[in-house]
């Protein structure tokens, strides 16, 4: 494979609140900062446009995709700055009481080149009484999505997807060189598992991982972990946000390093269908 030029990537870390207009304004300012820093690929976190765990309030005025004004704003930003822009996800209505958690990838001309709906719903009961039932509001997606861009091949995912390694193996075997994991990890699970899970996905697939996060205490009362990460295909941390504050981190991405890592440890080429022996002594 011919060598391709490296490029600068950026993670936008946010603390989205209840106002879609204000969240969009905040995201656009951070995207502009990333562009000024030389980024050719910029990713924002899960739920860029709104963070709200109260269904009645979330659905009050939430449009479907055709009515989502944020799309035009982000398309214009991608075109203005001439970059690939992944809006990690936005909430949008799909019917009267159901929403989608959907990623959008914008090309440098502002066109939407890919959409991805989160596959795995965050339905958990955590220590201390913290409970989340994402499936009560959001519809799960049906398909994995790989996007072949001039920069690199991108595998799309969202947050809780990171706990399902077969998704990333499937994307990597299909050619993904960068695994995108925009997230709004809870503070509790983030402190315990965020870096470990992301490094594991990078190492076991020989892929870059770009993981922009929500961080801090949000208007709806939830706490998210922050610490956005960019990880290399050998598991090396290329950039990390130091805390949960909004901001931008940068790293140089050389997609050909994924193929070097996969030649060293060619585990993606192996398919094992094992019979499980269940022993009951």
Tens of pLDDT along 196-229?
999 999 999 999 999 999 999 999 999 999 999 9
Distance of CA 25 to the CA centre of its chain: 20
Q: What band does 43 get if pLDDT is binned at 50, 70 and 90?
A: very high
Asked whether residue 242 carries a pLDDT value surpassing 90, the answer given is yes
Q: Which helix (DSSP H) or strand (DSSP E) does residue 167 occupy? A: helix 165-173
Asked whether residue 112 carries a pLDDT value surpassing 70, the answer given is yes
> What's this model's pTM, rounded to 2 decimal places?
0.95
Please pick, among 11, 40, 70, 118, the residue that the annotation labels catalytic.
118
Q: Is 40 helix (H, G, I), strand (E, B) or coil?
A: coil
Residue that is written with structure tokens 């991608």 in the block: 78
Asked whether residue 271 carries a pLDDT value surpassing 80, the answer given is no
Look up 46 and say whether it is catalytic: yes
Q: At what angle do helices 165-173 and 187-205 cross, to 10 degrees?
A: 30
Give the angle 265-171-249 at the CA atoms, nearest 5°.
85
What is the percent of the chain with per-residue pLDDT over 90, rounded to a whole number? 86
pLDDT digits (tens, 9 = 90+) for 12-32: 999 999 999 999 999 999 999
Asked whether residue 1 carries a pLDDT value surpassing 60, the answer given is no
Q: What band does 10 get if pLDDT is binned at 50, 70 and 90?
A: very high
| pLDDT score for 97 | 86
Residue that is written with structure tokens 């000024």 in the block: 36
Look up 159 and say whether it is catalytic: yes
Asked whether residue 122 carries a pLDDT value surpassing 90, the answer given is no
pLDDT digits (tens, 9 = 90+) for 129-176: 777 789 888 999 999 999 999 999 999 999 999 999 999 999 999 999
Please pick, among 40, 70, 159, 177, the residue that the annotation labels catalytic.
159
| pLDDT score for 253 | 98
Asked whether residue 235 carries a pLDDT value surpassing 70, the answer given is yes
| pLDDT score for 266 | 93
Give the residue among 103, 222, 223, 230 at the shortest CA–CA distance from 158.
103
Q: What band does 2 get if pLDDT is binned at 50, 70 and 90?
A: low
Domain segments of the chain as ranges: 7-265
pLDDT digits (tens, 9 = 90+) for 63-110: 999 999 999 999 999 999 999 999 999 999 999 889 999 999 999 999
| pLDDT score for 274 | 82
> Mean pLDDT of all residues in the chain?
95
Look up 65 and say whether it is catalytic: no
Please pick, among 11, 40, 46, 70, the residue that the annotation labels catalytic.
46
Q: Which CATH number fits domain 7-265: 3.30.1490.440, 3.30.465.10, 3.60.110.10, 3.40.50.300?
A: 3.60.110.10
Per-residue buried b or exposed e for 87-119, using 16+ beta carbons within 10 Å of the residue's own CB: bbbbbbbeeeeebbbbbbbbbbebeebbebbbb
| pLDDT score for 135 | 86
Distances (CA, A) of 29 to 12, 48, 136, 167, 261: 10, 13, 33, 32, 35
């Amino acid at each position: 494979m011919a060598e391709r030029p490296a490029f600068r990537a950026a993670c936008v870390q946010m603390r989205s609140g209840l106002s879609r207009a204000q969240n969009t304004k905040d995201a656009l300012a951070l995207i502009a900062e990333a562009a000024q820093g030389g980024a050719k690929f910029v990713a924002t976190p899960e739920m860029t446009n709104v963070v709200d765990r109260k269904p009645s309030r979330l659905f009050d005025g939430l449009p479907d995709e055709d009515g989502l004004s944020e799309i035009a704003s982000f398309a214009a930003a991608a075109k203005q700055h001439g970059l690939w822009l992944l809006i990690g996800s936005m909430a949008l209505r799909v019917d009267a009481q159901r929403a989608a958690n959907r990623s959008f990838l914008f090309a440098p001309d502002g066109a939407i080149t890919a959409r991805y709906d989160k596959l795995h719903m965050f339905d958990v009961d955590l220590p201390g009484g913290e409970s989340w039932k994402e499936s009560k509001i959001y519809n799960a997606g049906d398909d994995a999505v790989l996007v072949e861009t001039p920069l690199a091949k991108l595998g799309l995912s969202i947050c809780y997807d990171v706990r399902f390694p077969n998704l990333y193996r499937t994307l990597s075997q299909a050619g993904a060189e960068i695994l995108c994991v925009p997230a709004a990890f809870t503070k509790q699970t983030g402190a315990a598992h965020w870096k470990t899970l992301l490094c594991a996905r990078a190492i076991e697939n020989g892929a870059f991982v770009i993981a922009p996060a929500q961080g801090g205490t949000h208007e709806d009362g939830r706490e998210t972990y922050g610490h956005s990460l960019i990880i290399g295909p050998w598991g090396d941390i290329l950039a990390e946000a130091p805390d949960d504050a909004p901001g931008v981190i940068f790293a140089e991405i050389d997609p050909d390093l994924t193929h070097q890592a996969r030649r060293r440890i060619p585990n993606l080429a192996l398919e094992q269908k094992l019979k499980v022996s269940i022993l009951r002594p």
